Amino acid sequence: MGWTKKLLNTPMVGDVTKKLVSMKVNHDAKSIAEHFTKFLQPEVATTQALKDEVFKIRHNVYCEELAFEEIKEEGKEKDEFDDQSIFTMIKHKPSNVYTSCVRVVRAQNKNELLPIEKYCLASIQDESLHPKNFKRNEICEISRLAVKSDFRRRATDNFKGSAVGAISEVTYSETELRCFPFIAIGLYMAAATMAINTGINHVYVMMEPRLARSMKFVGIKFIQIGDAIEYHGKRAPYYINPNIFLENLTPGFSALYLSIREDICKQLPKSN
């Protein structure tokens, strides 16, 4: 066990250390918010052309890179839940390239299931937070989050033998690289905005427990409602609602959320 982990697990000392870590995260987050808005912009997929961009990103990540799905001849990854979904992407402003995407799957009636209900219902063990307890038009699932490999690499990953798609320092500046690791967080914030502004009160997501733990550092506290299962890797079912999301978001990352919310809210009416 490293010394940092030992400190975090030591009573009193651990509490102080955690506060210091939180303070640093918040300080860095304010800077990240500034860089994020300078180089990146969320964009709701309000047209078929933009939705096609979403499907292309998903194909690149889910089919070509991760091989979770078969390669499609048209280069677009789509499924049965897309017809009941709203989508957003994050665009890299200088290059006008879309870096990533996520969708919010809604259930307007009893015939429309969420992906978690169709494929992972048995994994939900917390009966109090089971989707069946809530109105169908008030539940949703955040799914198909995908970030292109180019935007998951930091400058330190540019070593011999690194994966194809590592960011080239010639193409992207050091300043830009600082906000790329927060693209996934930005996607969740964009998805949260879309959910809250379309009347959703209960949100589900299947994710790696490691990612859920990382989200706690910024105050996005997903509640695990079941054990991890094998579903494109080890993933567990999680729940969150607008109150939990808004009340726990750390001050530093609130700046990022407010910026993303402003951008998304300007676009959402066009997607309804």
* pLDDT score recorded for residue 64: 93
For residues 256 and 179, give the distance between their C-alpha atoms in angstroms, rounded to a whole number.
11
Q: Is the residue at 223 inside a domain?
A: yes
Tell me whether residue 16 is in a domain.
no
Output DSSP code: residue 161: T
pLDDT digit string (tens) for 127-146? 999 999 999 999 999 999 99
Task: Give the count of domains, the chain.
Answer: 1
Does residue 3 sit within a domain?
no
Domain coverage including residue 116: 26-271
**pLDDT at site 272:** 45
Say if 9 falls within a structural domain.
no
Q: What is the Cα–Cα distance from 54 to 98, expressed in whole angstroms?
A: 9
pLDDT at site 178: 55
Q: What is the dihedral of CA 95, 98, 100, 104, to 10 degrees?
A: 150
Is residue 38 in some structural domain? Answer: yes
Q: Is position 102 within any domain?
A: yes
Which residue blocks in 40-181 are alpha helix, DSSP H? 48-58, 115-119, 174-177
pLDDT of residue 137: 95
CATH code for position 77: 3.40.630.30
pLDDT at 210: 83
| 138 CB burial (10 A radius; 0-12, 13-18, 19+) | middle
- Report residues of the chain scoring pLDDT below 50: 1-14, 16-17, 20, 154-170, 271-272
6 belongs to a structural domain: no
**Does residue 239 fall inside a structural domain?**
yes
Q: What is the structure's pLDDT at 219?
A: 86
